[in-house]
Amino acid sequence: MASIRERNGRWQARVTRNGFMPETRSFDSHDAAVKWARAIEAEIDKGVFVSLKEAERTTLKDILNRYSDEVSPLKRATKDDQAKLRWLSAQKIACLSLANLTPKAIAHFRDARLSKVSAGTVLRDLAVLRSVINHARREWGMAIENPVEKIRKPPAPPHRDRVLNHDEEQRLLNALTPSELRDEAGRFAKGTRDPWLKPMVILAIESAMRRGELLALEWRHLDLTRRTAFLPTTKNGHSRHVPLSSRAIRTIQELPHSIDGRVFPIARWTVEQVFERATKIAGLTGLHFHDLRHTAATRLAEKVPNVIELAAITGHTNVGMLKRYYHPAAEALARKLG
């Protein structure tokens, strides 16, 4: 039964039912209080009532921070995940309560982001929000619908198909060759002194290993006699053995051993910085380190025509994903036709 009473110039409605927590809300008028109470009672009678109390007092920022503390540490890419969550929690939309986090609010966030960044970046932002809200619904009992599911998504950008030809590869390797040449200001005029990037690029092209896999690779996981590298943890959660070409073996044998046991004892940000600088020196616009994986998959497909064997090398769990990395030239396919 609902009770209506006046308190401090406002009308408070309180609905109590056996088996339900009391629902209370204040209004400016008696009629509004009565209307709300009747609506709540009708929903309870129909068995469709869902309390929004917790959703009203919990903000998006609250669940982003909780997700960062409780869920992100369980992921392999913890630092990247937490960095994205920190950025999202600093946005205006994070101040909204979950009850007020409407599709309209999400759409406004989407449009504001599209005016500044690419559609791919916006899709990744929305994917993070969708995952966090779904987790809050399933695991933390937040009684809300996911507003991200109800908005129009920007068209996904075309998949990258950048593949290095052999001339471009040589220019990149030349730019990564350590050099002592300095310009008039005393700065290194060509290349970089980093001794790890050139062999890391060669191994990426020869093996199709991801950047993270290369950075996590340890000497104890290499078997140069059997010509394999063991990856205990990969992006898809499965371990795999990667076959190594003769060129990859020679490259590894020339590397010094670091005291921390890693084959490439460098930080991710160093890879990004040095690789970007080298691409500019080599005149290779729009080249990302991940494009080396596309290059490797395309070249390996010429040596390993069996798609199952190729997927075992690259670590893809389905052929559909592998197709995104395999970019054969039309003339090469024409030669196979005879």
- pLDDT tens for each residue of the chain, 338 residues long: 677 787 777 887 777 777 666 777 777 888 887 787 777 667 666 665 455 666 777 899 999 999 999 998 887 777 888 899 999 999 999 999 888 889 999 999 999 999 999 898 999 999 999 999 999 888 887 778 899 999 999 987 777 778 888 999 999 999 888 765 445 555 544 544 578 899 999 999 999 899 989 999 999 999 999 999 998 877 766 788 999 999 999 999 999 888 889 999 988 888 988 899 899 989 998 899 999 988 988 888 878 777 777 777 777 766 666 666 666 666 666 666 66
Q: Note if 210 is an active site residue.
A: yes
The active-site residue, picked from 160, 190, 227, 235, is 235
User: What is the reported pLDDT for 56?
Assistant: 74
Predicted pLDDT at 191: 46
Residue 238: closest CA among 213, 262, 215, 274:
213
Q: For residues 243 and 183, give the distance between their C-alpha atoms in angstroms, rounded to a whole number.
A: 42
**pTM beyond 0.75, yes or no:** no
Two tokens at 18? Answer: 């056996």
d(CA 230, CA 240): 6
pLDDT of residue 219: 94
Q: Estimate to the nearest angstrom the gap between the alpha carbon of 205 and the chain centroid.
A: 23
H helix intervals, the chain? 30-46, 53-57, 60-70, 78-89, 103-114, 119-139, 166-176, 197-207, 211-216, 246-253, 268-282, 291-303, 307-314, 319-323, 330-337
Helix (H) or strand (E) holding 240: strand 240-243
Q: How far apart are CA 208 and CA 210, in angstroms?
A: 6
Instruction: Kindly name the residue from 293, 294, 299, 326 that is annotated as catalytic.
Output: 293
Mark whether 104 is an active-site residue. no
Does 316 participate in catalysis according to the annotation?
A: yes
Spatial contact of 176 and 201, defined as CB atoms under 8 Å apart: yes
Q: Residue 190: which of 267, 284, 282 has the closest Cα?
A: 282
Distance of CA 155 to the CA centre of its chain: 18
pLDDT value of residue 20: 66
How far, in Å, CA of 166 to CA of 188, rounded? 26
Cβ–Cβ under 8 Å, residues 305 and 332: no
The C-alpha atoms of residue 199 and residue 255 are separated, in whole angstroms, by 8
190 in active site: no
* Helix (H), strand (E) at residue 229: strand 228-231
162 annotated active-site: no
Residue 58, pLDDT score: 83
Instruction: Give the number of other CB atoms < 10 A from CB of residue 76.
Output: 12
**Given the residues 84, 198, 299, 325, the one annotated as active site:** 325
> 198, 211, 316, 326: which one is catalytic?
316
Q: Which of 110, 113, 210, 299 is catalytic?
A: 210
- In 3D space, the residue among 65, 5, 63 whose CA is nearest the CA of residue 33 turns out to be 5
Task: Say whether 141 sits in a helix, a strand or coil.
Answer: coil
Give the C-alpha distances (Å, rounded to integers) separating 177 from 174, 256, 281, 291.
Answer: 5, 16, 11, 20
Give catalytic status of residue 293 as yes or no: yes
Q: What are the tokens at 180?
A: 């002592």
On whether the CB atoms of residues 143 and 50 are closer than 8 A, the answer is yes
241 to 17, 67, 72, 163, 216: CA distances (angstroms) = 62, 33, 27, 24, 14
